[in-house]
Amino acid sequence: MAGYISDAVIRRLPAYYRHLRELEDAGVKQISSQDLGDRMQLTPSQIRQDINTFGGFGRQGYGYPVTELKEHIRAIMGLDHEHRMVIIGGGRMGRAIASYAGFAREGFPTVALFDQDTVRIQMSTEALPVYPVAELEERLPGMAAKIVVLALPAEAAQEMLERVYSLGIRAVWNFAPADLVYPRDMTVMNVHLSDSLHILSYRINQQEEDARS
């Protein structure tokens, strides 16, 4: 579909999708690179460049057709089909992810949760099947899962990544506070919540020092 897209543009894709969805909801049919740039805090020329790499949209002077562009980006991101997720780790984080319904609504349903201690967890996850990690090799291949969510302690994450790789998983959404090493044909997206909180804390600290000086 689209050719080579740079990493910087890939990171902006979700924001394009979000803004175009909001515009569509607001009934906007067309948007100029100027107006879209204002919303997204990008220059109009950056907007035009980005959208060109998606596949040549819009005509000079008419702006971009909101719904078409949104659907196009949706397809580029593969959001036009479902990606089943399996969560490994039934601690507070894993259960929080499992209980958050928003992902399923967006096409990322969680189909199962694996943990050492299935009894403790079964109670709090309602409809979601919970299996012992020992049964991963037996069960995971039949689940048609594309994404494994790692919600494990840092020290267990690397070994589990290798284990699911050998079961054919090529996409990991990692919530463990660890920098994982993985093969080139695997994709890992990290959500390091504590890191984000620590940067916030750093900035509060700086504000306070600035205020004192």
Q: Which of 120, 128, 70, 76 is nearest to 104 (CA)?
A: 128
Residue 65 binds a copy of itself, judged by CB under 8 A = no
Q: Tell whether residue 96 is a contact of a copy of itself (CB under 8 A).
A: yes
Residue of 109, 167, 165 whose CA lies nearest to 141 = 167
Out of 18, 84, 139, 163, point to the residue binding a copy of itself (CB under 8 A): 18
- Considering the complex, what minimum distance in angstroms separates the CB of residue 146 from a copy of itself? 6
If the CB atoms of residues 22 and 117 are measured against a copy of itself, the closer one turns out to be: 22
- The interface with a copy of itself within residues 69-88 (CB under 8 A) comprises 76-79, 83
Query: Footprint of a copy of itself on residues 105-164 (CB under 8 A)?
Result: 106-108, 146-147, 154
**Pair 149, 88: CB distance under 8 Å:** yes
> By the criterion CB under 8 A, which residues form the site for a copy of itself?
1, 10-11, 13-15, 17-19, 22, 40-41, 76-79, 83, 92-93, 96-97, 99-103, 106-108, 146-147, 154, 170-171, 173, 177-179, 185, 187, 189, 191-205, 207-209
